[in-house]
Amino acid sequence: MACWLFKTEPQEFSIDQLAASSSGPARWDGIRNYQARNYLRDKVAVGDSVLIYHSGCKIPGIAGSATVVRSGYPDPAQFDPKSPWFDPAANPASPRWFAVDICFDRKFSRLLPARNLKRVPELNDMVLFRQGRLSVQPVSEKERSFILQLADATHLHSDDKV
DNA sequence: GCCAACGTTGGC
DNA sequence: GCCAACGTTGGC
C-alpha cells in the first residue's frame, strides 16, 4: 500500500467537506499538472492512503487522511464547457486529465502545520518541502507513520510542539 | 530545441 | 499583497 499527499485549498474543498461526504466517495478532480496527472493515472491505487494537506490558507498543514476507493479515470470536468477545469484541447479518445475517488478516513484532532513539520528532521526529505507546486505527491512509509504518530501524540513537550 | 514572457502555486 | 519557484506557451 502506498501513501500520497493531496493538496487542497480549504476554501475550495476542505477536510470538513470531505468528512461531510463520508456517505460516499469524493472525486479528486481538477488536477491540471502533468506530474500530478501521471501519479493519478498510473500510480495511485485502490487502498492507498492519502494525507489531506490544506494549502493557500492561514495555517497550511496536514489536516487528516483518506483512502483511495477508485483509481485513475478520465476527469469528466475536462470535457465540460461549464466547468472551471474545462480543457478545450482534451479529447475523449485520449483523455488528458485524470481523477481518483477517495473516502474520508479521519480528521486529525489537531492540524499539523507545515512550518512545524518542516523542522522535523525525519520529514526533511518530504516532497512537500523539496518541490513546491505539486498537488499530488508520494509520501514514504516512514514519513507516513511518523506523521500519524504526531497526529496521535497527546502529550507534547513545550519545546516539541509540532 | 531554445528561451523569454507569462501564468500559477503557495508560503509569508 | 508580495514574491520566489516553477510550469507552460509561443516565437524564432
Residue A21's pLDDT is what?
A: 72
Give CA–CA dist A99/A76, Å, rounded. 8
**pLDDT tens digits for range A64-87:** 999 999 999 999 999 998 899 999
The distance from CA A68 to its chain's CA centroid, rounded to whole angstroms, is 11
| b/e per residue A32-44 (b: at least 16 CB within 10 A) | eeeebbebbbeeb
Q: How far is the CA of A128 from the C1' of B9 (A)?
A: 13
A58 touches strand B (CB under 7 A): no
Q: How far is the CA of A156 from the C1' of C8 (A)?
A: 45
> Please, which positions of strand B sit below 7 A from a protein CB?
8-12
What is the torsion angle, in degrees rounded to the nearest 10, for the CA atoms of residue A85, residue A108, residue A45 and residue A126?
90
A131 touches strand B (CB under 7 A): no
**pLDDT tens digits for range A106-148:** 999 999 999 999 999 999 999 999 988 999 999 999 999 999 9
pTM over 0.75: yes
Question: Measuring from the CA of residue A114 to each C1', which nucleotide is nearest?
Answer: B11
pLDDT tops 50 at residue A15: yes
What secondary structure letter does DSSP report for A59? S
